[in-house]
Copies of this chain bind each other. A is one copy, B any other.
Amino acid sequence: MTRLVAERSDVLPVLGEVFREHGFEGASLSVITEATGLGKGSLYHFFPGGKEEMATAVLSEIDDWFQVNVYQPLRDGEDARAGINHMFTAVEQYFRSGHRVCLVGVFALNNIRDRFADQVQSYFADWAAALNKALTRAGYESAAARSLTEDILAGIQGALVLARAMKDPKIFSRSLKRLRKQIDL
């Protein structure tokens, strides 16, 4: 099936950036219209559920990306250490070396009346489970793996906050490098 004029999937990345930049409440339809170049007619055609559907669609797309590019390599890669190594490079690229912020983190903090709580929770839960599995497969004991998992996920999220707050993206890259070193990769 060929596309007609525009396609829903074309809009999702733009929507993602808008929500990143403005948050859910701050991303008004006028902002979205301007950023996407689509009028309300098109937007409500693609997302009959309005802003909420746009947000869940973006979160789903993000989840898909991480499932394929991060979680599955962690879970199923033949070499556990390679999977972890791959995670760090994927994350470094995804967050544009600290220039980009984590939309799921934004939604987690703002927690819009728990509207997206499930998607937010499973994003981190899946990541934690996959990383934990990879760490144990790499030889870490159960308790150590659990601690390391939390430290790495928190380190990534915190570095993104810090980098944005201090307007210094390099903070993120430095933090990633140290986290990597922590598991002697």
Contacts and interface: CB of A to CB of B under 8 A. Distances in A.
B153 A108 contact: no
B157 A121 contact: no
Interface in A171-185: 171, 174-175, 178
Interface in A1-35: 21-23, 25-26
B162 A175 contact: no
A101 B174 CA distance: 25
A167 to B, nearest CB: 7
Chain A interface helix/strand/loop/mixed: helix
Contact of A165 (B108, B164, B175): B108
A21 B113 CA distance: 9
Contacts of A162: 124, 150, 153-154, 157
A88 to B, nearest CB: 15
Interface string A59-73: 000000000000000
Interface string A101-114: 10011101111100
B158 A159 contact: yes
A151 interface: yes
Interface of A: 21-23, 25-26, 101, 104-106, 108-112, 117, 120-121, 123-125, 128, 147, 150-151, 153-162, 164-167, 171, 174-175, 178
12 contacts: A23-B109, A26-B112, A105-B109, A109-B109, A109-B161, A123-B165, A125-B166, A128-B166, A150-B171, A153-B158, A155-B158, A161-B161
